[in-house]
Copies of this chain bind each other. A is one copy, B any other.
Amino acid sequence: MDHREYTPLQELRLTPASYIVLGLVEWAGTATPYDLKRYAAASVGNLWSIQHAQLYSEPARLAKAGYLKEKREDGGRRRKTYSITARGRRTLSSWLAEPASETAELRDPGLLKLFFGADPKLIAPQQVEIHERKLAAYERIHAGLAGTDLRGPRLTLEAGIRAQRAQIGFWRDLA
């Protein structure tokens, strides 16, 4: 008797990058890797950046596993266009429904230097500058989002704004 179970198309680990792709494709309805690149750069990229090459490999992986549908255009470039499948949609929404258990790390190169004894006077000014620039960018985008129905991105930006303000305060006090 054969006890092997039915294996789904492919077993793969879903990483944050996977969910980013799934999320963007669902939002867009249909997208080529290059579209994804532009969407990501203008939105999630601020929170969680992705290399453009991965926006080619990751959708392919997801398609092979049945989360996305892949369609190749016939003409010249033969671009690939992706759309989300029912399975993909289910996976995405159940990910959204369960609370995130993992905690984020700071992973700030500036802080790392500080940890190992870098001179605060030396690095603080640049850090202030960096975070202020980020803050300004966030606020600009946030303003552009007012009145739209993009609630998620708007809220996320607000979190980012608070984070930048906190860091600016920290480095200011140091300098």
Contact = CB atoms under 8 A, between A and B. Distances in A.
A123 interface: yes
B156 A114 contact: yes
A141 interface: no
Contact of A111 (B97, B115, B134, B156): B156
Interface string A109-135: 111111111111011011100110010
A139 to B, nearest CB: 15
Contacts of A127: 99-100
Given A103-B134, A105-B47, A115 B169 contact: no
Copies of the polypeptide in the assembly: 2
B112 A16 contact: yes
Interface string A153-168: 1011011101101110
Given A49-B105, A100-B113, A115-B152, A158 B170 contact: yes
Contacts of A9: none
A86 to B, nearest CB: 18
Contact of A123 (B49, B99, B118, B131): B99
A20 to B, nearest CB: 7
Give the 3 A-B residue pairs with the shortest CB-CB distance, closest first: A104-B108, A99-B126, A166-B166
